[in-house]
Amino acid sequence: MTRNPNSKTDKIEAQPEVQLSTPPKQGLYDPQFEHDACGLGFVVNMKGTQSHKLVSDALQILVNLDHRGAVGAEANTGDGAGILIQVPHDFFVTEATRLGFKLPAIGQYGVGQLFLPPNPAERAEIKSELAKIIAEEGQTLLGWRDVPVNNSSLGKTAIAAEPFMEQVFIGRNASLKDEAAFERKLYVIRKVAEQKIRYGGKIAGGKYFYVPSLSARTLTYKGMLMSEQVEKYFDDLRNPAVTTALALVHSRFSTNTFPSWDRAHPNRCIAHNGEINTLRGNVNWMKARQSLFTSKIFGDDLKKIIPVINTDGSDSAQFDNCVELLTLAGRELPHAMMMMIPEPWENHESMDAERRAFYEFHSCLMEPWDGPASMAFTDGKFIGACLDRNGLRPSRYYVTHDDVVIMASEAGVLPVEPERVKIKGRLQPGK
């Protein structure tokens, strides 16, 4: 089907069936061997000062990383690009008022960015099912918002598989004592919805259903886009009221994979340049351990999030699934990343005993997710980046005197006056 996904008309033209994600295993092709190499970067104000300039700076980084992304036979159909920002509370308060509902204080609600089917009837059925799940999980559905988009710059292939973009706002139940508990509940809602809607096979249009983000902290705008199309496609990103203190961007190069709307980065916690070569073993071990999972903070919800790893996703998406679980189960984000991508500690003679003990202990819990990888990660509070233990992907950073950090897969992604630069360098292997 093809249509302007957010037009006010429901006129739809029938088109041949399109492939939303990777095709099934066939011939010499097996989706489990998919990898990609890309460009990534972030910009952050270390003092937490929010501004629209950080959004525009991040989008400029994305445009400057265009050569690290890729296009297909159509010059205007990209492999994927996107941006992750903090939830722009003031902007959404204004939008909610315009749409006839009210938002509580920041942290008291979550925002879900959704990919939905273009067909209005199928979309209504999915939204009804999602509303039911939200209620069953004890939270409050506050309202819906169509995400304004402009697909005039997109190629025919991207438009043919284009989902309808919509946001859902979910109020936090007073029984959830802190923001972390609410993030866990939003995670549970998403996992239950994925199983029932996308993979249940009983809801028409469920194959379109995908949740780029569902959080009280972060919001992701992404799609089967070229770097320069991201700002053109999403009207929100040009609005001065959309502010953030951190922004993570990614331009995808599907080296030996198929581009799709859902496989664009950033994922929910990470953006990735490189490959996870040990993926099959990592995923198999995660599956093997699922039956032994226990968690006091998840409680009875734990069984609802199984399987943790969505094997339909790319290597990056599956890595992201694991990071999500580790952080929501109570670990700090840097802790989780050190577990999954440890530095080469075994023969490091000068490493202090405490750090060696950390790596040795966690090696009993999880195998390294190894491969040539530069990984940027965030939970909306922390943001950082690390390299694999061999350091085979580049990552350069600048720290400025006005408390801004710029990190990217190469130098020169943003113009910075020399007098502003406090520190500059590159990430080291395993650091």
Q: How far is CA 104 from CA 88, 90, 130, 172, 190, in A?
A: 13, 11, 21, 9, 21
Would you call 169 helix, strand, or coil by DSSP? strand
Q: Which residue of the set 38, 269, 322, 386 is catalytic?
A: 38
- Exposed/middle/buried for residue 240 (C-beta within 10 Å: 0-12, 13-18, 19+): exposed
Would you call 324 helix, strand, or coil by DSSP? helix
The Cα 119–Cα 14 span in angstroms is 10
Residue with tokens 């679980």, as numbered in its chain:
325
**Please, which residues have CB within 8 angstroms of residue 147's CB and are 6 or more apart in sequence?**
6, 113, 165, 166, 167, 221, 234, 236
Task: Judge whether 322 counts as a catalytic residue.
Answer: no
The Cα 236–Cα 244 span in angstroms is 13
Q: How far is CA 219 from CA 110, 234, 289, 397, 404, in A?
A: 9, 13, 30, 24, 21
Contact 136, 53 (CB under 8 A): no
Closest CA to 165 of 230, 209, 103: 209
Would you call 117 helix, strand, or coil by DSSP? coil
The Cα 303–Cα 294 span in angstroms is 9
The Cα 362–Cα 167 span in angstroms is 38
Helix residue ranges, H only, 104-195: 120-136, 156-160, 179-193
Nearest 5 degrees, angle CA 61-CA 212-CA 323?
85
Closest CA to 233 of 165, 163, 154, 150: 150
Would you call 71 helix, strand, or coil by DSSP? strand
Nearest 5 degrees, angle CA 194-CA 195-CA 198?
55
Q: Give the chain's largest Cα–Cα span.
A: 68
Contact 146, 166 (CB under 8 A): yes
Residue with tokens 């909610």, as numbered in its chain:
96
Please identify every residue annotated as catalytic.
38
